[in-house]
Amino acid sequence: MEKKNRVATLPQPNPMCGGDGPHSYARNSSYQKAVIDCAKTKIKEVILEKLDLAHMCLDLNTFKIADFGCSVGPNTFDVVQTIVETVKRRYEQQNIREAQKHLEFHVFFNDQSNNDFNTLFKNRFLSVCKPYFIAGVPGSFYDRVLPRNTINIGHTSYTLHWLSKIPKEVCNINSLGRNKHNISCSNLVEEMSKAYKSQFEKDMGDFLGARAEELVSEGFMIMSGMCLPDGVPMVRTWKGVAIDTMRDCLIDMANSRILNKERVESFSLPLYFPHMSELEEVIKQNECFSIEVLERMIHPMEDLPLTNDFIASTYRAIFHGLIEEFFGDGVVDELFDRFAKRLETHPIDFQTCVKDIQYFVLLKRNSH
């Protein structure tokens, strides 16, 4: 098949594992769903308390919602349904009766163009309930993907740590050998952290700039995801340790000549988890939005000892596409078998890891 020998020169941001098989994101995303579950309580609160339909610049009969980085479901349907139901209650609360009679919802599901949109749109929930009008919007959310001044509520969850690309300085640093044993930003090598941070700032600036154009005046942008407590390096969290375990498996595979050593040394993940203050700072830079809420949520699995099988299947569903694109076919099974085994022989010590932070942010679009 054409794809077999085609490998990317740099690791590319890649969608989650498609389909609905045992390794798919659809069946291995309960960790991300738990974040959405906590955010749902806050989403209801902020819509009922703060969404001002009377002053929002909108066609009162058609309410438009966009989920950026929706993946293949089912999490996206869960959060969108909460937004739809709560907005209906808000219409009742604000007594906008005439519009209520004709109220319709139009939902835009955005992800990268190689996301498995077929699986997304085949979901039974959509065909059985027909809950709203839907549209798929392929394209990077770091650019404009929707017309100007159209969206009433934008949402994104567990997406903004995916950078648009590996910063070029990281590739240079890798080639100088200073970082060849790291596959992500551990926050231990200063020049590395700087390069990742500045790519994150650029990407977040682009994300917010694009959303500022797409949202109507008084529109909401709701964002949730993970960041780090100030001063805590990524390597001290369990997710950082898991990424290092994945790196160790890649190095083992290179030592066993299953993978090319130089290729493993040049591998990095296009991920950056900002510190809480960095996140706040970059959001403040965009003067089109006012920050209505920026707070910490407790992840429902924060105090649970996660099983090794759970970690391995969650990581596989996330990184499958990226690994295959960079190392070629046939590597994913071997890598994640080794990963699961290594987690057994070198278990993550959750007691000594520092807890990461789950954030909830509500931004309001200032008047155009």
Ligand X SMILES: C[S@@+](CC[C@H](N)C(=O)[O-])C[C@H]1O[C@@H](n2cnc3c(N)ncnc32)[C@H](O)[C@@H]1O
State the residues that interact with ligand X by CB under 6 A. Answer: 13, 15-16, 29, 32, 36, 69-71, 75-76, 110-112, 115, 140-142, 157-159, 162, 164
**CA-wise closest residue to 156 among 349, 359, 7, 367:** 359
Q: How far is the CB of 210 from ligand X (least distance, A)?
A: 10
* Minimum separation from the CB atom of position 25 to ligand X (A): 7
Q: Which is nearer to ligand X, 76 or 313 (CB)?
A: 76
The amino acid occupying position 176 is L
Q: Which residue, 56 or 282, has its beta carbon nearer to ligand X? A: 282
| Cα atoms found within 13 Å of the Cα of residue 291, Cβ hemisphere only | 14
Closest to ligand X by CB, 259 vs 311, is 311
Q: Which DSSP helix (H) or strand (E) runs through 202? A: helix 190-214
CA 179 from centre of chain: 25
> Rounded to the nearest whole angstrom, what is the least distance from the CB of residue 129 to ligand X in the complex?
19
Distance CA 117, CA 304 (A): 33
Nearer to ligand X, 69 or 219 (CB): 69
Q: Which is nearer to ligand X, 136 or 233 (CB)?
A: 136
As measured in angstroms, the least distance from the Cβ of 150 to ligand X is 18
- Find the shortest distance in angstroms from Cβ 243 to ligand X: 14
| 91-119: b (≥16 Cβ within 10 Å) or e | beeeeeeebeeebebbbbbbbbeebbbeb
Give the nearer residue to ligand X in terms of CB position, either 180 or 316: 316
Q: Dihedrals φ, ψ of 314, to 5°? A: -65, -45
Residue nearest to ligand X according to CB distances in the complex: 69
Q: Which helix (H) or strand (E) holds 224?
A: strand 215-227
Q: How far is the CB of 113 from ligand X (least distance, A)?
A: 9
